[in-house]
Structure formats: structure tokens, C-alpha cells
Structure 1
Amino acid sequence: MKDFIVDYHVREKLKNFYLRKGRWLIHLLYWAYVYILGQVRAEEPVWAWEGFLLNFLFDNWLIIVFYYLYCLVLVPAYLKKERYGRFWTVQAIAFIVLPVADMYFQLHFQPYVPKQYQDYDFRDFHFRSHVGQFYYLYFMNFLLFSTFLFLMETAESLTNYREEQEAEEVKLQHEKMLLQTNIDPAFVMHALDGLSALSANSDTHTPDAVIRFSDILRYRLYRSNEARVLLADEIAQVRNLFELQNSLYGPCCILETEGDTTGKFIPTLAMVNIAEPICNTFQPGHEWQLIMYLLIEDKQLHIAIEWNAALAHKESVLAAIRQNLTHFYPEESAVLDTELMDYNYSIRISLPMHYTAT
């Protein structure tokens, strides 16, 4: 059933391919050229019903059958589906039979056509010489038609390539926007549970924790539409995240920085989306600690993370961090190295710096 559905969609896509999207106009222009050229050679008016019927259709109807059998049946039904044996077999039969049929058609019916429209001299009919003339005519038409279709295919391929590139860019932009605006439900639930516990215990850290939590949400929601933010603002949000974690669960996160942040930019949420997946792994009652060192250089931001946790599935967290970096740095300009020793996970990340917001 699946193969039938796929085959149906393929047939629908290929059916009348060379006539859709305005391509029929190219066919119309081509045949108009053939018709006008025939009228000029016969020294007849450009538009005349007699010329159209006897000079154009009479001479070309089997060539037209040959052409449209080729481009509307053989190419989509066989060539495009890689059924090359059938394609060339039917094409060879058509090429052998139709020129001969056309020759005998002209031989028997041309005497009934006005003399100015008679293109062939059959007074001294000789099969080999005359059939060779028709084979040459059909062969040249085949080359011309194949070139004609090839140009159509090339134009379509270029259009499809541009559309695919644009669609891929739009997809990446939407994925990046979703990544930036997507708030991890685990983070929200853990934070709300922690804030509820602080409030129930009338903890003095409750007001600061609520402010920090709201600031984190506000930053993700309202700054995520910016391509880049000041490095100082991004570091401030990571610090907010760490301080919230410390308020909820006690001192477990440390952030240390070295270097000048002035005039330096970074993709929005690039650092927050590194720290947040790790923070979400906190489990009350289990040993857990996160230390992040930032070394800020002129062109690079070096991040060293020491993460100590009794967590069996650390690789899934690392995979999330890699995915985030891929979206923020699609050119593979970000470098990530890891080292695991017992419960301690060492992560080293190098990110390129920017000096403009766009």
C-alpha cells in the first residue's frame, strides 16, 4: 500500500511536467515559429487556415506525436523512474516506425495537397534514399527536442535548488528561534517547586529568587528575537541562573570570569543554553556541583565547566549542548571537548567572539 501511494504521488508530480507552470507557452512559441517559417518558405500569408492545416499539421502531425510521446509519456513513465530498458526499447520502436509511417503517409496523400505545400519529390521514389531523408528529419528533431527539454530541466533544477536553499535557511532560522524561545518544562517545574518550598518556609531568599526567575524568563522571551547580545548581558543571565540555583538548593553553582567584555557580542542564549541543561540535572539529596570558568579573549571565549553529579545519563545532556552549539554556530566554528572521570565531567568549549550585534 505504501509503495502504491508513493508511486501515485510520483506519477502526479511527473504528469504533464513539461506543460505546467507556464511551460506550455514555450511549446506554443516553438510551434508558432515552425508554422510561420513554413508559411514564409511557401510564400503564403502568415495566417491562413489552409496553411495551418495543409502546411503545418499535414507535415508535422506525426513529428508532434513522436515528440509528445517522448516528453509526456516515455520520459516521466520510464526515464524518470529509472526504467531505462523500457524507455530505450519504446523510443527505438517509435524512432524506427514513425519516420517510415510518415514517409508512406506523405507518399500517398501529398498528391492531394496544393503544389506550394508539397515538400517532397516522390516522382522517382526510392525507399532507401527517401526513408533516409525522413530518419534524418526525425533524428534532428529528436536532438532539438532533447535540448529543448534539457534546458527546461536545467531551469527547473536551478529553481528547485534556490527554493531548497531558501527553505533550508528558513528552517534553520525557525529551529534557532524555537531553540531560543523554548523554555525547558523541567527547568520551570523545578524552579516553581523550589520557589514554592522557599515560600512555605518563609525563607529570606524567596523575593530574590522570584526576581531572578522572572528575569530569566523575561530575557528568554523578549531578547530571543535578537541575533546577538552583549556578552556582558549573556553572562549576567548565566549568573542569574546560578544564583537562582543556589537560592533554591543551597550553594552548588559557581561562576568565575576573567577578561574584558566591553564591545563583545555573542548569539543570544548561546551560553544560557549550555548551562541550563546541566542545571536541570540537579537532584535534591544527591551530590551535585557545577563550576563554570570564563576566559574572555579578543576573538575567543573559552568556557571550562566542571560538573560533579552522580548521573547515569550525562551523554544525553552533552548531546543537548552539542545540538545547541550546532544551531548557534552552524559553520562548526565552536569547539567542544569532554573528559569523564568517575562522577566529574569536564567540558571545554571555545566560542568565536563578535564585535557587532548583527
Structure 2
Amino acid sequence: MSNFVQLEINERNRWVYFSKYRWVAHIVYWITVLIVGTIMRAKGPITPSLIYNHFFLANLMIASFFYLYCLYLIPYFFKRNKYLQFWTSVIAGYLIITFLDIHFNRAFVHYTDPVPPPDEGNFLTTYLKELSGFLYNFLFFSIMLFFMEKNEENSTLLELEKEKKEIEQVKLDFLKTNISPDFILRSLHQLKVSAKVPEESTPEAILTFSDLLRYRLYRGRQSQSPLKEELSAFTSFVHFIGFDHQLKITFNVQGVAEHKQLAPLALVNLLEPFCKILNEEPVMLDIIILIETEELLMEMNYGANAGLELIADLESYRENYRQINGDAVKFHFEQSEENSFKVRLSLPIFNH
């Protein structure tokens, strides 16, 4: 169990008795004490005075000991592995509160039962008797507490695991839908410049860019996306990049995309790092996609040397791919020769 999980459990256990159905267990326990310890032992009529003295006041000290044990000793000592302080405090509290309980009963508890209680004898006899009574109740309460703690710990672990999965899902959604700020700014600038000059391609470029953003929004948060839709978005992306005239892309797909799915944006995201590069002359990017039965193979041949920024972006994308798709992803890139940079990607695909 991780330190974070254990610490979270420790903090929550302090208030375990006031959450969910825990209060019901305590009510049942004290009702049992009331019935067995007071009502069934009463020799006369059950009056408010009898309940007040024989139940509330008579159990005040032992209740104080129980909840000191529950709300302070367990979460702050036992749960933090301070066993010496825990057992020392338990034993000291057991002995001291029993001692105080005898004096408290003699000073403040006024028994109203018509049949007087039997002679309690000297203080030592009474003290030993009270110790055995405290011990019996303490063991009964501890057994009940054990099952309550165990159930609460399991519930807490399930809640933490659920929260952890939700956080991981949010992180994965962010990785999938995250758009490079440089790419967005450059695309918007390109559209702005194109809009100022009456070109026939401007409306088409705006609509294509809108489709890409819409696809990211609606498909990015899903666990899988139809491969046909991903390829359609990828084709739109390639078409949109063509308006920039900086990157010349040839795109070829082999295989059948029908009835297959893959992680959304797995292909679209890979084009962004190449769109950020500014070159004096247009650069070719040849892309081949091969669709097989259980995997998709993609090879990109970039007709220029890869700079440090491109390599850093691809390393980041490789880590993102692995977080989203696991070890089934194979992502490799290398500077194969002068003015040639190759990227190879293998992704799992699923039939439906």
C-alpha cells in the first residue's frame, strides 16, 4: 500500500464513525448496552431518572475512553505505526479512566432502582471488578470496531482507486486532445493572412480547420474511434497543411479500414510537430499507412534533417502514445541519412 493511500486512510478513519452507515452501528451498540445493562437489570419501573443515572452517567467514562481510543489513539498512533505510544496510552487510559469512573459514580450517579445495589466492598475490590467490566466491554467494542475499520478501509481503497482512474483518464484525455500552441497560432495566422487576400482556397481552409477542431473535441475523449473517421480527419489535416505551401505531403493508405477502431487522434497528433518547422524551401513528407489485421503501420519519410525541437516533440509524443496505448505501441525515429529523417509507428487496432 502506498504512503499516499495509507495517509488518506488514516485521515479518513478519524471520522469513520460519522460517515455513511457507521453511526447506525454505534446506535445499535448503545441501544444494546441500554437494554442489556440497564433495562433488563432494573428491578423496578423504567423511569427517565433511571435511564439518566444507570445508563447515561454510568457509561459516561467508558464512552469517553472508547471514543478517545477511536478518534485519537487509532488514527494518530496505531495507524502511523507508533505502537509504543499507542499501547502505552491504551493501558494508561484503561487504568486511569477505570479509577476515575469509580469516583465519578460515587459522586454523581444516583441510583434510583428500588432494590439497592449490592455492597461494593472496599475500593480495591471495586476497582478490580470495574477493570474486568471495562475489559469485557472494550473487547466487545474492539471486535465491532475491527469489522467497521476493515470495511471502511476497503471502501476507501475502492474510492481512491476510482479517483486515481478518473485522474488518469483526465490526463489521457488531455494528452489526446492537446494541441500544440505553436501549431494553433501558426494556423490562425495563416487563415488570417489568407482571409485578407481574396483566394478561392480560403473558405475551404477555414472549413477544413473547423472540421479538425470538431473532430478533436468530439472524438478525443472517447477510448476508441473508427479507423475510417481517423483516416478521414488525417486526410483533412494533410489537405489543410497543403494551404501553407511549406510542407508538401504525399499520402498513401493500403488495407481495409472498415470495421476497425483505434485510439482517437493517434494519427492526427503525429503531424503537428512537422507543421511547426519553418523552412526556407518547401520540404517533402512522404507518408505510407499499412492497415493489417491487428495493427496499423505508419512510416513517415521527412526530406530534411530533424532539428532538436522536432526530436524533442517526437520524444514527448512517444511517451504520450505509450501512456494512452500501453506497451503495444512501437514508435521509432532516426536520422537515416543526410536530408532524410524517418519515423515508424505501430499501433494496435481492434475489429468491431
> Normalised by the shorter chain, which TM-score bucket?
0.7 to 0.9
**C-alpha displacement of 1:354:** 1.9
Find the counterpart in structure 2 of residue 65 from structure 1: 64
Equivalent residue runs for 1:97-136 within 5 Å? 97-102=96-101, 114=113, 116=115, 118=117, 122=120, 127=124, 131-136=127-132
Letter matched to residue 263 of structure 1 = H
Scaled by the length of structure 1, what TM-score is found? 0.76
1: CA distance between counterparts of 2:213 and 2:107?
Answer: 87
Equivalent residue of 1:187, what SS?
Answer: helix
**C-alpha displacement of 1:134:** 3.4
For the Cα contact (< 8 Å) 1:40–1:46, is it kept in 2? no
* 2:52 pairs with 1:53: yes
* 2:308 pairs with 1:312: yes
Letter matched to residue 48 of structure 2 = W
Equivalent residue of 1:249, what SS?
Answer: coil
2: CA distance between counterparts of 1:57 and 1:173?
Answer: 51
After superposition, the Cα gap between the structure-2 partners of 1:303 and 1:133, relative to the gap in structure 1 and judged at 3 Å, is farther
For the Cα contact (< 8 Å) 1:223–1:268, is it kept in 2? yes
Cα root mean square deviation, aligned: 4.0
Letter matched to residue 72 of structure 2 = V
**C-alpha displacement of 1:273:** 1.5
2: CA distance between counterparts of 1:240 and 1:56?
Answer: 79
Letter matched to residue 276 of structure 2 = T
Find the counterpart in structure 2 of residue 6 from structure 1: none
Find the counterpart in structure 2 of residue 296 from structure 1: 291
Scaled by the length of structure 2, what TM-score is found? 0.77
**C-alpha displacement of 1:30:** 1.0
For the Cα contact (< 8 Å) 1:36–1:46, is it kept in 2? no
Find the counterpart in structure 2 of residue 186 from structure 1: 182
After superposition, the Cα gap between the structure-2 partners of 1:205 and 1:105, relative to the gap in structure 1 and judged at 3 Å, is closer
After superposition, the Cα gap between the structure-2 partners of 1:18 and 1:312, relative to the gap in structure 1 and judged at 3 Å, is same
Letter matched to residue 136 of structure 1 = S
Letter matched to residue 55 of structure 2 = F
After superposition, the Cα gap between the structure-2 partners of 1:71 and 1:195, relative to the gap in structure 1 and judged at 3 Å, is closer
Structure 2 runs not aligned, ≥5 long: 1-7
2: CA distance between counterparts of 1:303 and 1:142?
Answer: 68
Structure 1 runs not aligned, ≥5 long: 1-8
2: CA distance between counterparts of 1:327 and 1:288?
Answer: 31
2: CA distance between counterparts of 1:111 and 1:24?
Answer: 29
Find the counterpart in structure 1 of residue 95 from structure 2: 96
Percent identity of equivalent pairs: 26
For the Cα contact (< 8 Å) 2:50–2:112, is it kept in 1? no
- Larger RCO: 1 or 2 (CA < 8 Å, sep 6+): 2
**C-alpha displacement of 1:297:** 0.8
Equivalent residue of 1:285, what SS?
Answer: coil
**C-alpha displacement of 1:301:** 1.1
Find the counterpart in structure 1 of residue 233 from structure 2: 237
2: CA distance between counterparts of 1:28 and 1:265?
Answer: 55
For the Cα contact (< 8 Å) 2:248–2:282, is it kept in 1? no
Find the counterpart in structure 2 of residue 3 from structure 1: none
Find the counterpart in structure 1 of residue 157 from structure 2: 161
**C-alpha displacement of 1:33:** 0.7
Equivalent residue of 2:299, what SS?
Answer: strand
Find the counterpart in structure 2 of residue 350 from structure 1: 346
After superposition, the Cα gap between the structure-2 partners of 1:109 and 1:187, relative to the gap in structure 1 and judged at 3 Å, is closer
* 2:141 pairs with 1:145: yes
**C-alpha displacement of 1:351:** 1.6
Find the counterpart in structure 2 of residue 37 from structure 1: 36
2: CA distance between counterparts of 1:109 and 1:178?
Answer: 65
Find the counterpart in structure 2 of residue 335 from structure 1: 330
For the Cα contact (< 8 Å) 1:54–1:117, is it kept in 2? no
**C-alpha displacement of 1:160:** 2.5
Find the counterpart in structure 1 of residue 278 from structure 2: 283
Q: Provide the aligned length of Structure 1 versus Structure 2.
A: 343
Q: Deviations over 1:204-262 (max 9, x none)?
A: 76565445334323433454465533312212222222233233125532322221112
Find the counterpart in structure 2 of residue 23 from structure 1: 22
2: CA distance between counterparts of 1:223 and 1:153?
Answer: 43
Equivalent residue of 1:252, what SS?
Answer: strand
After superposition, the Cα gap between the structure-2 partners of 1:110 and 1:328, relative to the gap in structure 1 and judged at 3 Å, is closer
Letter matched to residue 231 of structure 1 = L
2: CA distance between counterparts of 1:274 and 1:340?
Answer: 17
1: CA distance between counterparts of 2:108 and 2:247?
Answer: 102
Equivalent residue of 1:42, what SS?
Answer: coil
After superposition, the Cα gap between the structure-2 partners of 1:104 and 1:245, relative to the gap in structure 1 and judged at 3 Å, is closer
For the Cα contact (< 8 Å) 2:297–2:346, is it kept in 1? yes
Q: Deviations over 1:183-222 (max 9, x none)?
A: 4332222223444556677777656544533432343345
For the Cα contact (< 8 Å) 1:255–1:291, is it kept in 2? yes
For the Cα contact (< 8 Å) 1:232–1:261, is it kept in 2? yes
